[in-house]
Homo-oligomer: A and B are copies of this chain.
């Protein structure tokens, strides 16, 4: 049995465009003599579609597209994912097309993911079909783990829409190797691919044989198409090493690129502070969008160090992006003078004065954005987002955050990756001590321990779900743990208004961790 695996980058609700991609792949599969072509879960609709899954018209358009696709399926079986309606409920289904007709729907039983729980109803799970004399099981998502396949099955077609996050590819490969070996069946895995605002699908579709060996691995983070003859003597392929930083970079580039391409955005702007975060964002944006489409502002105040401006100019020149220098000192003085009669004796320099600087910078950046349609990119990293080290409506502004789920230590790793071949980001930016430069000689370290300690505590709290007590018992300083915990809880209101964040970790703020903003619980 020859299986064609089509890993395509769909757009939510772009029925015509998705259909054309699908039909092209079916034609390719037919030419290659494939018996069956398989597509991801939600191929026709795109994913994640959230409340669109409850719109009757959206579901009807999915089914119309399916019928149109079926017309091309002569001499081939096609297995393709879409959401369907069933007695006022929505189910995730795999349509089985044979002889140009939709012969059946397999529906997903285990609704495991929290974003699906609110929209989907459980279906019946695994079903079986004959394709060219082979008995084939078709399952969606988590059902593969809970199904005991009937005896005569030799192959499992497994449709999925599993978003990328750190270490996900290696875990998925390991899972399929184990499933193939334990069930003694071929596993044909096809996953979604592409960026959809914050959600990034990596693809990494694969075929594993009944000994648990990989016999086809599709690209990660790219469209791909392969045809595998399951009856042939396929040589096992070694699972390639997965570099954490390289994969993170690929995911960010796919997420950023698709956000612009699928929303019809072209150009971006951001502020360069002279720090590492904005430098990394600028470098990635220039790479993905083209240097001609990235424009930066350098907005020094009286507290900015001289080398902040020099370093930023050097970076902008290395990247070949447009830059302008707009000092904010006069505007800052004017605003503080305007508020002086109100503040009266309380006009000592404090947080209010620090934040005025950061917010004036966002006034300038947003003016640029409004004037030219440049999309403002946020530059906050996950460690800052956790601690509240950003100014609401100031440097927390932006339409998309590409580093908001990347720890500070990993921002350094990305910077080194960017500089691997030549010094694109000036060394002095990478070596500079982290500072907001909102008051004289300010350093992040005056407020918090070094970022490697901070990152380790945040990681344990968010991604391992540890309590304060557990982290302290693991050897971390009690005062530091309480301080960081307190900061994270106190800044939930600020994070509530943060822009979408490309999801990189298992626990992205706002998506995987939704806490009541009004609560006395603090453990």
CB of A214 to closest CB in B, whole Å: 32
Per the bound structure, the CA–CA distance linking A393 and B497 in Å amounts to 10
Which residues of chain B are within 8 angstroms of A331 by Cβ–Cβ distance?
Answer: 331, 334-335, 338
Beta-carbon contacts of A186-211 to B below 8 Å, as 1s and 0s? 00000000011100000000000000
Q: Is the CB of B342 within 8 A of A324?
A: yes
CB of A181 to closest CB in B, whole Å: 27
Given contacts A331-B338, A342-B326, contact A356 B350 (CB under 8 A): no
Which residues of chain B are within 8 angstroms of A399 by Cβ–Cβ distance?
Answer: 493
Beta-carbon contacts of A9-25 to B below 8 Å, as 1s and 0s? 00111100100000000
Which residues of chain B are within 8 angstroms of A517 by Cβ–Cβ distance?
Answer: 197, 263, 500
Q: How many residues of A contact B (CB 8 A)?
A: 81
Q: Tell me how many chains of this kind the complex includes.
A: 2
CB of A354 to closest CB in B, whole Å: 8
Does A129 reach chain B (CB closer than 8 Å)? Answer: no
Per the bound structure, the CA–CA distance linking A338 and B353 in Å amounts to 20
Does A436 reach chain B (CB closer than 8 Å)? Answer: no
Q: Is the CB of A519 within 8 A of B11?
A: yes
CB of A216 to closest CB in B, whole Å: 30
A464-523 interface with B by 8 A CB criterion: 465, 467, 493, 496-500, 513-523
**15 extra interchain contacts, Cβ-Cβ under 8 A, other than A12-B516, A115-B118, A324-B342?**
A12-B518, A52-B515, A55-B523, A197-B518, A259-B518, A263-B517, A326-B338, A326-B342, A335-B360, A335-B367, A339-B367, A351-B370, A352-B370, A355-B370, A496-B500
Q: Would you give 14 A-B contacts (Cβ < 8 Å), ordered by A?
A: A12-B519, A52-B515, A52-B519, A117-B117, A330-B338, A331-B334, A335-B360, A335-B363, A339-B368, A342-B368, A352-B370, A355-B366, A366-B393, A392-B397
Q: Which residues of A contact B (CB under 8 A)?
A: 11-14, 17, 46, 48-52, 55, 57-58, 61, 114-115, 117-119, 195-197, 258-259, 262-263, 324, 326-328, 330-331, 334-335, 338-339, 341-343, 346, 350-353, 355-356, 359-360, 362-364, 366-368, 370-372, 392-393, 397, 399, 465, 467, 493, 496-500, 513-523
